[in-house]
Amino acid sequence: MAQTYQSAAITAHALRSWLWAEAFARVDGIDDVDHELLYVAAVLHDIGTVAEYDNHTLSYEHAGGHVAVALTAGVGWPAPRRARVLEVIVRHNWPSVDRAMDAEGYLLEIATGLDISGARPEDLPESYRREVLAAHPRGALAAEFSACIADQAARKPDTAARRLHEAGIARNLAENPLARLG
């Protein structure tokens, strides 16, 4: 689904985010992780930005979370687990997530923080960062995602997209230390 609807740059961002999240789980000593849920949340966390799933009344993270709920219902996930995937996707855009409250939400939030804003790169070995970037290059992520967030912020000013836009996401993407590695 991600590869069908998302651009190559957004899909690569989603896959890197999953890999960063798994690495941060090891670095931070977080053992109680639903890895399948984390994968699904990571791969679909920005699906609400694509035209086919962009909801004119919901934030892109809520829209994407609902796509994940529908997808996981189709494969038989119980309702509480489907609700969790929605929570994790929504929380990835929070300024911070309490790891004791939500391990997967915390991991996706810090992973996307690395991939978008360059937060905590020193916590992961440079060799690992290079390996992930070689497998899933950043490509046009900075230009694409900056434009996407600007559009979301303009059309949905009461959402996290506006906060991200006003906080300088375009600058953060352009200055991300990962961009210099690959």
pLDDT per residue over 4-24, tens digit each?
999 999 999 999 999 999 999
Is-contact 104 88, C-beta < 8 A? Answer: yes
Contacts of 56 (CB under 8 A, 6+ apart): 155, 156
Residue carrying structure tokens 């690959």: 182
Contacts of 9 (CB under 8 A, 6+ apart): 138, 139, 140, 141, 144, 145
Rounded Cα distance between 102 and 97, Å, is: 7
Is-contact 96 163, C-beta < 8 A? Answer: no
Q: Is the pLDDT of residue 182 over 80?
A: no
Assign domain 2-180 to its CATH architecture: Orthogonal Bundle (1.10)
pLDDT in tens, 65-119: 999 999 999 999 999 999 999 999 999 999 999 999 999 999 999 999 999 999 9
Backbone angles phi, psi at 145, to 5 degrees: -70, -35
